[in-house]
Chains A and B, each alone.
Chain A
Amino acid sequence: MATIIKSVSFQNFYNYYGSFDNNTYYFKEGINIVNADNNMGKSKFYNGILWLLKDTVYDSDLKRMVSASSSFPKMASGKALNEETNFDIGVKIVFVENADKYSVSKIVQFKKDGGSWKTNEKLDILQTIDNRDIPVLDVADKEKIIKKIIPAELMNYALLQGESMEELVDLSSHNGLSSTIEALAGIKNLIEICDISKDLSQKTRKLSNDKEKEINSTNQKITGLIQERETLEGRIESTKTQIEIYNTELSEAKKKKETLEAILLNAQNREKFRGVQQALQNEIKRLKDEKDNKEKSITSLLFSESSPWILMGLQEQISLFDNRRQELTAEIATQKAINNPIKLPEGSPDIPSLQRMIRTHICEVCGRPAPENSEPWQHIKMIMERPANKEKSTKNDFGSFYSGIQTTVGSFSLSIPKIASVVQQYREKIDNLEDLINQKEEEKETAQYEFLNAGGSESNSDVTDKQNISDYTFAEKTIEKKEEDIRRAEKSIKDWNTRLKQIEGEIKGISTSSEIENYRNFKETMVSIEYIFHNSKERTFNRIIEQLNTNANEKYIELTKGNLSAGGKLVFQPQTDGTVQVSIKNINDGELTGLGTGFQRMKQLSIIMAIISSKIGNKQFDYPFISDAPFSEFGDNFINNFFKIAPNVFKQSIIFIKELYDPASENYLNDLGRKILKKMENGEIPGTFYVNIIEEKADTTNLVTKNKCYKG
């Protein structure tokens, strides 16, 4: 019953230059890996399948799906366009479905006509019967055969592009939910009956009302009550419509909140680390300025008035100068004494003796000590200098010159000896500032790392983050307001319904017509029918959602198994507007926010797997599961888990992946790639393993991708 793709071939298709024979990948049941670095043909491969199955391709320049016919020149190999004037581009898929084998080729013929290219697209399908290839010619038959590869209603789940995974299964929108439920349960008829029964119920209600009015047209009391009933019914209807609008707005706000939730923590973190970086930047600038100022002040400190560093080590010169001055004074005194001898009492010491006494600090008259500056010492000095005080004994008098210098430099006698330690302290201060700057630089680097970890980049401006935070707050307020609006509207409807019942009773009590009873019964019957179908639909929806919940959680647990950070559990919450919100909660039912994109994608992948599992029960999925870059946000653990459980869900999967690639390695595989290959080689993981390579370096227009089959 299953469809298995046996091979996919390309001819002059994007990077895949050359014939089909040169660009063929043979696939098997199990996991088929095409491992390639960026720009080596993964998405081109995926585009080949999209072209063949859906007639669309993903235009990486426009970043959206476009019709294949509008993109033919881009789909052609650059090398073929440069070197040839007449060539074909194409994709060929060979597949088996049960015992039948088909070969489907889409080809565009390129022919140069003057300066432009003429193109012609064709679709060739061959069916192999008894080893003979029979061309299929009927257009409708061709379409049916293509749908055998993957039916249209399952393409959403079987053709997966990593980047668009978030939008693939959107249970929070009416359309997304309906198409999922439809894919799983096929209850389109039931939904149609629900709509019809609602319409019929409204019509019978109107008929009954009109008849009642007609019969009781003469009874003013009844006419008044009917009038009031109509007014209330009108209000109830318009309020119900209003509630639907509120619900849609509520649902949109919740969806917005959920979308923002995943990025909010990152946005808040970015805001936080952006702030930390800015504060550190300011601090670093302040410290650098302080250090700069200190360094610039060094030369001025050499000439400081109070402690000039330039004089370090020269402190002895002050006392030397002082000695010289004293010597000069003594010499002048001696000179005076010689020039103007003073009669001293007999036995008094002469000038040389007085000089000696001043120097040795001993009074030679009494034999007692005369310490410097003591009263006896001053007395000896006065006697020695007395003649100088009275009259000038030298030609010049430079005493004031020397004493002036002495006064100026005298203060340095205390500061110069301390200069060395002052310099040392100054050096330490600058070193400390340098250490502090380095420390802050490191902190800034850490903050920058955290900022980048939170998804920060140049393009990720704080304006966007602030906008996201503000949008989130707005969504929260909208949810609160809409829930309040809905509560108020429902209360009004409840009150009006109570009044309607009263009116109904009053009319019944007054009216005597038996004819109206038949209309009333008919109306009530139709209301009941509407109720029954509506409930059936609700029950079916709920059952499917419950089943999805269970299955998705099983897959989620398997996919996140062994991960270091707990991934919580998936919770499917029916919304007031009939949609379903799927969120990730922790064991205490608290919302788990801040999980990375990897977890969010894992959630989506779990739901996709659950949808497929729900559809097929305990069997494997009968169609190929083809996915481009599903793991671009996943860690090694997720990838490992996926390879473990995918073969249980999908009979065949074809995965384009770069997470196993290492351009520096001899075989282009990283550690994880080598591990997976080994598991394939020893049969633990069934399937094939290809690596794309570029043999000759060229610009993107001339790239030629080749493949190496490591495990066929």
Chain B
Amino acid sequence: MDGSQLRDLIGQKRPRYKEQYRALIDSISKKGDTSGKGDFSSFGAYYQTYMFAFIVGYKLGKQNFIQSNEKTNDFFVFSQWSPTSIRDYIVMLLLNKSEDFGFKWIELENASTETIDTFVTEFIRQMEGYANAGFEYLQNKWDNENMKFRNPFVFVNLLEEFDV
């Protein structure tokens, strides 16, 4: 298997989020608007909300994995997410942590197709884990500190909280 095949394998996945965050995602996203210029406290497309939640979860260092009995929703296939550079950055962040979830790069070079499939599944599960942890964090902010969402810098402020 070569690089482009691996890319395609990951790219055809549809990362999921927990149904419980649906209302929140609806509130802070502007469905169908890919310009990114929604109301100042909302994102353009849903998957941008997802990417943001992923970064929040990643910065938190926390994961909230989807349990098998949990109701979920999914997005566009991963390959369609834009901007490509940020999508790739997310892939890079997860690849940097691949050993943590049991996959060394060198081992992947020698792995069977089945193992690669397992890797890709786990890769996406890891992504979902971070993203849903991010949603959990955002939900908490939304519920308890809603005033913050009236500030046009709300999403920047949320990111800065982790860098202090």
Contact = CB atoms under 8 A, between A and B. Distances in A.
Interface string B130-164: 00000000000000000000001101100110110
Contacts of A420: 163
A238 B59 CA distance: 103
B3 A302 contact: no
A664 interface: no
A296 B55 contact: no
B66 interface: no
Given A331-B106, A395-B110, A313 B40 contact: no
Contact of A396 (B2, B55, B152): B2
Nearest to A300: B36
Contact of B109 (A297, A309, A332, A411): A332
Given A295-B152, A423-B156, A427-B153, A400 B2 contact: yes
A709 interface: no
Interface stretch (A318-326, A492-500, A533-541): A318-326
Contacts of A310: 51-52, 55, 86, 159
Nearest to B113: A396
Contacts, number: 150
Interface in A386-429: 394-405, 408-409, 411-412, 420, 423, 427
Given A395-B111, A408-B84, A408-B85, A298 B106 contact: no
A328 to B, nearest CB: 5
A601 B112 CA distance: 105
Contact of B159 (A312, A400, A427): A312
Nearest to B88: A408
A295 B108 contact: no
A307 to B, nearest CB: 11
Interface residues of B, number: 48
A132 B156 CA distance: 98
Contacts of B44: 299-300, 303
Decide if the interface of chain A is mainly helix, strand, loop or mixed.
Answer: helix
A412 B85 contact: yes
Interface in B1-24: 1-4, 6-7
A602 to B, nearest CB: 56
Nearest to A401: B3
A314 B110 contact: no
A514 interface: no
Given A296-B40, A298-B40, A397-B2, A328 B109 contact: yes
A310 B59 CA distance: 11
B85 A409 contact: yes
B86 A396 contact: no
A291 to B, nearest CB: 9
A371 interface: no
A185 interface: no
Contact of A302 (B39, B52, B106): B52
Nearest to B58: A314
B38 A299 contact: yes
B126 interface: no
Nearest to A409: B89
B96 A317 contact: yes
A335 interface: yes
A394 B110 contact: yes
A308 interface: yes
A699 interface: no
A267 B84 CA distance: 63
B93 interface: yes
B75 interface: no
A382 interface: no
B89 A412 contact: yes
Given A313-B162, A317-B92, A398-B109, A305 B85 contact: yes
A160 B111 CA distance: 110
Contacts of B6: 396, 398, 401
B63 interface: no
Nearest to B87: A408
B43 interface: yes
A313 B116 contact: no
A317 B2 CA distance: 24
Contacts of A295: 40, 152
A398 B4 CA distance: 8
A399 to B, nearest CB: 6
Interface string B88-119: 11011101100000000110111110001000
A330 to B, nearest CB: 9
A311 interface: yes
Given A313-B59, A396-B110, A400-B2, A302 B156 contact: yes
Interface of A: 295-300, 302-303, 305, 308-314, 317-318, 320-321, 324, 327-328, 331-332, 335, 394-405, 408-409, 411-412, 420, 423, 427, 430
Given A295-B152, A313-B163, 10 more contacts: A302-B156, A309-B156, A312-B160, A314-B59, A331-B105, A331-B106, A394-B109, A395-B112, A397-B3, A398-B105
Interface of B: 1-4, 6-7, 35-44, 48, 51-52, 55, 59, 83-86, 88-89, 91-93, 95-96, 105-106, 108-112, 116, 152-153, 155-156, 159-160, 162-163
25 contacts: A296-B37, A298-B152, A299-B43, A300-B37, A302-B156, A303-B44, A305-B85, A308-B85, A310-B52, A310-B86, A311-B86, A314-B55, A314-B89, A317-B93, A321-B96, A328-B106, A328-B109, A396-B6, A396-B110, A398-B3, A398-B6, A398-B105, A401-B4, A401-B6, A408-B89
